[in-house]
Structure 1
Amino acid sequence: MKLFGVVSACAAFVLIGALQALYGPAVSAFRADFGISVPVAGLALSAHFVGGIAGVLWYARSPLTGTRKLAASLVAMAAGAAGVAVAPTWPLVLAAALVAGVGFGGIDYGCNDMFARAFRRRGSAMLNVLNAHFGIGAIAGPLLVGLLGPHRYPAVFLGFAALSLLLLPGLRGSAQVPADPAEPAVTPARIRRRGLLAAFIVLYVMNVGVEAGVGGWEPTHLEAIGHSASDAATATSVYWLMMTLGRFLVVPLTLRVSDRAIVIGSCVGIAVCLALAAVPGLAIVAYAGVGLFIAPVFPTGLPWLHRAVPGASRAGAYVFAASMLGGVAFPPLLGAGIEQAGAGSVPVLIFVVNALCLVAIWRIVRTESTRPSTHTQRV
């Protein structure tokens, strides 16, 4: 894969991180411009995620070459962002957010899949670098809106659209990587791979549920145990910052430790930190630890998936799509649990979700250990 393509992909991840994070700070301006309630304004992010799922599935099934699919995704993201900026009615804003989400999903899945297959031995390291740039954008986007003011969101979205189009030459010049082989016959080995795929889907859905659950409910828990709203908000920002730093810090480790060991160690570390978060005096530091440990799971699990499940290009699409559903579903589900058990239960409820990650990992490891030697294959 060409250096210019790598740099362009990292820049694209800064943009998609910023795009996902722009909707929240723009809520007040959406309400003022269109006369809508907070829940209705929140539909913009929901439309974005629905579009993201569609973008992932389109990318996996489209007959176009990888570089053309990435270019089309950039164009869709730019068109959608421009539409959000200039749409005269709220339904058109939602439609534009959906289109932008399609491009978002294509870039997110396409670049991750391309890195996983292009960088065989260094796949985990490069995927962590790539996804760390997503965090940079997620931190920078809200800061930009805060600096300019929410009422300037049209200018921010238009600038985002222009930057997306500027990346077209770089991603169009990315090297092609070979497609994963297909298996037409239904064999015992293929049935076993489907079981592995199901376990990876559970791992990713639950892991994203933990990520979104902490990001969404950490402030509620911290305020319930006596911290001020401003301190709780700052602590949540530190959680996202630690996630970004963690992906850079794990890069040297990926060259010496297996992907499986990193994912297992990370999920165990998350469990320990969530248990410590139940102790009021340790909660803020513990949540920062969750951010550090959760950082490598998503990108480091992808090379593991590609090795464990032959034909993982299509499998990865299902994992990505399902993980986005997890990000949409778990915050309200956790909210319902918190309503019943109280805000102090936040770390306990998220601990249970992470425990399901560990169950999925156990299933993957057990299935891999029973793999017949004649079917062992590195993808």
Structure 2
Amino acid sequence: MEAGPGGVDAGPVFTTSAVVASCFGFVLIGVLQALYGPSIPALREEFGLSPSAAGLGLSAHFAGGVAGVLLFDRRFGRTGNRRILAVAYLLMAAGAAGFALAPDWPVALLAALLAGIGFGGIDYGLNRLFARGFGRRSTAMLNILNAHFGIGAILGPALLGAVGAEHYPALFLAFAVANIPLLFCLRGVKNHAPQPTSADTGAADAGAGDTGAGTPVGAALRSVLAVFVTLYVLHVGIEAGVGGWEPTHLESVGYGAGAAATATSVYWLMMTVGRFLAAPIALRFSAQTIITVSCAGMTACLLLAAIPDFAPYAYAGVGLFIAPIFPTGLPWLSRAAPSARRAGAIVMAASMLGGVAAGPALGKIIEWSGVRDVPLILAAVSAVCLAATLWLTRTTRRPSP
């Protein structure tokens, strides 16, 4: 691939083979994240762990993910994209292999942390490149990319169920090996990230280059970033909250354990389907419109889930409506705050923290109110997401001071 003026590579950001490989990479990070939970029974037996101690594997993974997002963000612009992504894939593979072969639980936790760092680098790096690399098609391509994460999240537990939880080391090793061929596809990735052009940023970004702490533009930019962080933290909290508490809520209103588990699987499936459906929609409608409709639909479905007869179907609707928010918001953020180089990293790291905090925070609220109120609690959080979206829509349409 030839270099253009100033050392920036000429040609498209991704070749077709690199796009396919990137989507497969997202399948892999979906598989990795989803393998920890179903492995808990085998981990407890092998290492003699309590339930809470066994759950630390996923916590270490998420902690590594946050660190990976922040660490790899610091290298973007300084190190070529191919090298950054290659290091992330290798860290993820090494961590997965280490988790499979760990002789004791502390070593396994360190390996999960290492795999999480690679996970965060891949998640952030590919989302960032897709957000900037396809022009008007970026939102559609981001939805397709993140839909493949959902495929992996569905595939991981299915594979573990087929081979048995006691064979989790074999699956983690197979996962590690599956990362290696992706290294050879990185030649199809442009080595330097494209920067947003004035045509991409729009009138709302005029003057946004001045982000001084004492300027009106700086204050406005900080407000926009704060509300984006709020939107991402809360919607990921809802995503994790439904996934974690839907079975318990459904059982509390009279559904059997099997039916509740099936309904939760349908919720994750609908999230994957929703991202594929959002791809063509994103070519016709703005990110603001898509996210506003998504938050409104998510809120309505959560309210409907409070009615026992409709609850399983309403939760499926939540999965469908929540699906486009994460990938669709990233190009909007890039346009709304093009001068804030680390905005994407801050938002993505915050979203991972939202997933970590959702369980204990929602659990404490449920202790006060009861399991039957889960959908109403989440509906209130969803209403805040809708209010944040409406504020962002109004604010980012205004010319900057």
Same fold per superposition (TM over 0.5): yes
- My pick for the range that moved more, 182-191 or 279-288, is 182-191
User: Which runs of structure 2 are paired with 1:220-235 in the superposition (5 Å)?
Assistant: 220-235=248-263
1:110 is displaced (CA, Å) by: 0.5
Q: 1:171 maps to what in 2? A: 186
Contact 1:305 1:312 in 2 (8 A): no
What is the identity, as a one-letter code, of the residue corresponding to 1:16?
I
Contact 1:116 1:303 in 2 (8 A): yes
Separation in structure 2 between the aligned mates of residue 33 and residue 180 of structure 1, nearest angstrom: 51
Separation in structure 2 between the aligned mates of residue 178 and residue 9 of structure 1, nearest angstrom: 17
Separation in structure 2 between the aligned mates of residue 57 and residue 344 of structure 1, nearest angstrom: 38
Residue among 105, 109, 112 paired with 1:97:
112
- My pick for the range that moved more, 199-208 or 307-316, is 307-316
Separation in structure 2 between the aligned mates of residue 310 and residue 202 of structure 1, nearest angstrom: 19
Separation in structure 2 between the aligned mates of residue 14 and residue 195 of structure 1, nearest angstrom: 34
Distance 1:117 1:37, change over 3 A: same
Name the Cα RMSD after superposition.
1.4
Contact 1:5 1:171 in 2 (8 A): yes
Residue among 7, 21, 45 paired with 2:34:
21
Deviation string, structure 1 residues 167-198 (Cα, Å, up to 9, x no partner): 11113431232246995761422321121111
Is 1:51 equivalent to 2:64 in the alignment?
A: yes
Contact 1:53 1:105 in 2 (8 A): yes
Separation in structure 2 between the aligned mates of residue 293 and residue 26 of structure 1, nearest angstrom: 29
Separation in structure 2 between the aligned mates of residue 242 and residue 312 of structure 1, nearest angstrom: 33
Separation in structure 2 between the aligned mates of residue 270 and residue 308 of structure 1, nearest angstrom: 24
User: Which runs of structure 2 are paired with 1:1-379 in the superposition (5 Å)?
Assistant: 1-62=14-75, 63-175=78-190, 176-179=192-195, 183=209, 186=212, 187-372=215-400
Separation in structure 2 between the aligned mates of residue 131 and residue 171 of structure 1, nearest angstrom: 19
Contact 2:96 2:115 in 1 (8 A): yes
1:359 is displaced (CA, Å) by: 2.2
Separation in structure 1 between the aligned mates of residue 356 and residue 120 of structure 2, nearest angstrom: 14
Separation in structure 1 between the aligned mates of residue 103 and residue 296 of structure 2, nearest angstrom: 49
1:74 is displaced (CA, Å) by: 0.2
What is the identity, as a one-letter code, of the residue corresponding to 2:71?
W
1:233 is displaced (CA, Å) by: 0.4
Identity of aligned residues (%): 57
Separation in structure 1 between the aligned mates of residue 144 and residue 87 of structure 2, nearest angstrom: 24
1:64 is displaced (CA, Å) by: 1.4
Contact 1:71 1:172 in 2 (8 A): no
SS in structure 1 of the partner of residue 379 of structure 2: helix
1:296 is displaced (CA, Å) by: 0.5
Separation in structure 2 between the aligned mates of residue 184 and residue 296 of structure 1, nearest angstrom: 31
Separation in structure 2 between the aligned mates of residue 169 and residue 177 of structure 1, nearest angstrom: 19
Separation in structure 2 between the aligned mates of residue 313 and residue 15 of structure 1, nearest angstrom: 27
Distance 1:29 1:180, change over 3 A: same
Q: Could you list the runs of 5+ residues in structure 2 that have no partner in the other structure?
A: 1-13, 198-207
